[in-house]
Structure 1
Amino acid sequence: MRRSVPYDGGSPGSARDPAAAWPAVQALLRARGAGETKHPGGTLLDHLDRVARLLAEWGAGPDLQAAGLCHAMYGTDGFDHALMGTDERALLAELIGERAEALVFLYASCDRAVVYPRLASGRPVVFRDRFTDGEHTPSPPDVRAFVEITAANELDVLAHDPDLAERHGPTLHRLFTRSQDLLSTPARDACERQLGRDSLGRGRGTGSPA
Structure 2
Amino acid sequence: MSVQTEVLAWLRHKGTEEIAHPGGTLYAHLGRVRDRLAGLGHSQDVQLAGLTHAAYGTDGFALALLDWQDRAPLRALIGAAAEELVYRYGSCDRDRSWPGLVATGEVTDRFTGEVRTLSGDRLAEFVDLSIVNELDVIEQDPTLLAKHGDYFRELFTAWSPVAAEALRTDLQRLLER
- TM-score (norm: length of structure 1): 0.80
* Structure of greater Rg: 1
1:140 CA drift (Å):
2.8
Work out the CA distance in 2 between the residues paired with 1:32 and 1:39: 15
* Secondary structure of 1:181 counterpart: helix
Paired position in structure 1 for 2:85:
103
What are the equivalent positions in structure 2 for 1:76-115 lying under 5 Å apart?
A: 76-115=58-97
Residue in structure 1 matching 2:147, options 167, 171, 178: 167
Could you list the runs of 4 or more consecutive aligned residues of structure 1 that deviate by over 4 angstroms after TM superposition?
A: none
Contact 2:101 2:107 in 1 (8 A): no
SS of the aligned residue for 2:49 comes to helix
SS of equivalent residue, structure 1 residue 88: coil
C-alpha contact 1:158 1:169 (8 A) present in aligned 2: no
Q: Which one of the candidate residues 165, 184, 200 is aligned to 2:164?
A: 184
User: TM-score scaled to structure 2, two decimals?
Assistant: 0.94
Q: What is the aligned partner in structure 1 of residue 176 from structure 2?
A: 197
* 1:70 and 2:52 correspond: yes
CA distance in 1, matches of 2:61, 2:46: 20
C-alpha contact (below 8 Å) 2:107/2:116 kept by paired residues: yes
* % same residue: 42
* Post-superposition offset of 1:87: 3.1
- Measured on the aligned residues, the alpha-carbon RMSD in Å equals 1.4
Unaligned runs of 5+ in 1: 1-14, 199-210
Q: Matched residues in 2 for 1:156 and 1:24: separation?
A: 23
Counterpart for residue 117 of structure 1: 99
After TM superposition, give the deviation of residue 88 of structure 1 in Å. Answer: 3.0
Structure scoring higher RCO (CA < 8 A, sep ≥ 6) equals 1
Once the 2 structures are TM-superposed, how far is the Cα of residue 179 of structure 1 from its aligned partner? 1.6
Please state if 1:37 is matched with 2:37: no
Q: How many residues matched? A: 177
CA distance in 2, matches of 1:100, 1:38: 25
Give how far 1:145 is off: 0.8
Give the structure 2 partner of residue 208 of structure 1.
none
Aligned equivalent of 1:128 = 108
Structure 2 spans left out of the alignment, 5+ residues: none
